Amino acid sequence: MAEFMSLSAAVEHHLRDGQTVAMEGFTHLIPYAAGHEVIRQVKRDLTIIRMTPDILYDQLIGMGLVRKMVFSWGGNPGVGSLHRMRDAVENGFPQRLELEEHSHAAMANAYEAGASTLPFAVFRGYKGVDLPRVNPNIRSVTCPYSGEVLATVPAIRPDVAIIHALRADRQGNVLLEGIVGVQKEAVLAARSSIVTIEEIVDDFGPRSANAVILPSWTVGAIVHVPGGAYPSYAHGYYKRANAFYIGWDAIARERESFAAWMKANVLDGSPDSFASLAFGSRKSA
């Protein structure tokens, strides 16, 4: 049953050193504020899972908190490389980073299997490519009817899922809308979860009969963090700060500029550090 708490309490209570955590968000609704709290609390030796690790995971890696990353596309979308991730993979700085690499199709299926509590997912993929050579978790099964050989991937079952959503009602039900990615699957696949939200409402009110809702009893902690997805965005609340993503490239390129930025903006910051930026940039979102 969902429990409303502060961000620091939620991270303290739900995430421990050495655990596997998925902070999901497919461009939309990336849980930046929660991820920053993880950095402030210096949770170490993490295995981080995400289809599209972007700046937030670059920050976790650059701060030396990550042992292993499970992913399918690691870059700054439309901009270029994740320099901290590259520094870890290419130079072992600040520490070696183990990679388990998949395709998007595999990861999406693996989350779906996790939400279904299946041990693995079956899909038609990885034809004629090299990833199966370097990832022993890419295997296959034979269709018992057609004989077709299909690819498999282990289900994703994180210890903790962290997502950002739009609204929660007073009972702790959580609503997402727009580009919903794999967030619902991540929460359902995880053993516990933290959900940051833009807004608490008494009742969701009139809505689609098929609205994307996580019932209260599927969620661990709920934390009210307006602007908590910035520089990502929240459908109907604020837009993606594309300028921030473009600007990140220069910040993260060098170890020193990265460390200085993290100190000023994250380590010395708080859960509402970015709220003014999120809503300062508010447009007809």
Positions touching its own copies (CB under 8 A) are 116-120, 122-124, 137, 139-146, 148, 150, 152, 154, 177-178, 180, 207-212, 235
Q: Is 239 near another protein (CB under 8 A)? A: yes
Query: Do the beta carbons of residue 95 and residue 64 sit within 8 Å?
Result: yes
Of 94, 96, 97, 99, give the one whose Cα is nearest residue 262. 94
DSSP string, 185-197: HHHHHSSEEEEEE
10, 156, 188, 251: which one binds another protein (CB under 8 A): 188
Both structure tokens of 281: 């940039």
Distance separating alpha carbons of residues 91 and 85, to the nearest angstrom: 10
Query: What part of residues 85-104 is at the interface with another protein (CB under 8 A)?
Result: 85-86, 89-90, 101, 103-104
Q: Is 28 near another protein (CB under 8 A)? A: yes
- Shortest Cβ distance from residue 139 to another protein (Å)? 15
Is the Cα torsion angle 225, 227, 233, 235 positive or negative in sign?
A: positive
3-state secondary structure of 211: coil
Q: Which amino acid is at 21?
A: V
3-state secondary structure of 142: strand
Phi first, then psi: give them for residue 167, nearest 5 degrees: -140, 155
12, 19, 44, 73: which one binds another protein (CB under 8 A): 73
* Binding partner of residue 139 among another protein, its own copies, none, CB cut-off 5 to 8 Å per kind: its own copies
* Binding partner of residue 205 among another protein, its own copies, none, CB cut-off 5 to 8 Å per kind: none
Of the pair 179, 267, the CB lying nearest another protein is at 179
48, 60, 63, 108: which one binds another protein (CB under 8 A): 108
Q: Is 71 near another protein (CB under 8 A)? A: yes
3-state secondary structure of 114: helix
- Shortest Cβ distance from residue 129 to another protein (Å)? 5
Select from 15-23, 60-68, 232-240, 266-274 the region that touches another protein (CB under 8 A).
Answer: 232-240
* Binding partner of residue 152 among its own copies, another protein, none, CB cut-off 5 to 8 Å per kind: its own copies
